[in-house]
Amino acid sequence: MQDEKGLTLLEVLVGMVVLSLGLLALAKMQITAIQVNAASGRLTQGTAFAQDKVEQLMALPYADAKLDDQTPVGEFTTYTETRPAQGYTITWTVDQDTPAVGVKTINLKVTWSNRGRQKTFLLAFFKESV
């Protein structure tokens, strides 16, 4: 038996099982990478929508109706974007004279769904009277 050449059937089967397990792990890793990439794309898009809305609101005059706060102290009127991108909701609230007189605090919120779970991006900024 010292002249033995080649592999036995059992050795070939064990090698195939090890190779199959490695390929399955790679396939699972690829699926996870695709899902994470899609989620990060939605987050990037939500962030871009928030930044775009901030620029729009900052360009408005201080007394514009979209930046009006006629509610009592501690209460907020919630404004909603009338035509947001599909799958996204953009809302904001305005708090006047906070943190100082002549300054409006605008709290912007972008929400979307990611694999059945609601995700939110919040952004607060200040607009001061000129």
End-to-end CA gap in the chain: 96
- pTM score of the predicted model: 0.76
Residue 3 lies in a domain: no
Peptide bond into 72 cis (omega under 30): no
Number of structural domains in the chain: 1
The pLDDT score that the predictor gives to residue 72 is 67
Average pLDDT of the residues of the chain: 90
The pLDDT score that the predictor gives to residue 74 is 63
Residue 96 lies in a domain: yes
Residue 100 lies in a domain: yes
Residue 22 lies in a domain: yes
Residue 111 lies in a domain: yes
The pLDDT score that the predictor gives to residue 48 is 94
Residue 2 lies in a domain: no
How many other CB atoms are found less than 10 A from the CB of residue 94? 21
**Closest listed residue to residue 107, CA positions, set 82, 80, 126, 85:** 126
pLDDT, one tens digit per residue, over 46-62 is: 999 999 999 999 999 99
The pLDDT score that the predictor gives to residue 78 is 87
Domain with 44, as residue range(s), is 9-128
Residue ranges of the chain whose pLDDT lies below 70: 1-2, 72-75
The pLDDT score that the predictor gives to residue 1 is 58
Q: How far apart are CA 102 and CA 129, in angstroms?
A: 5
The pLDDT score that the predictor gives to residue 54 is 94
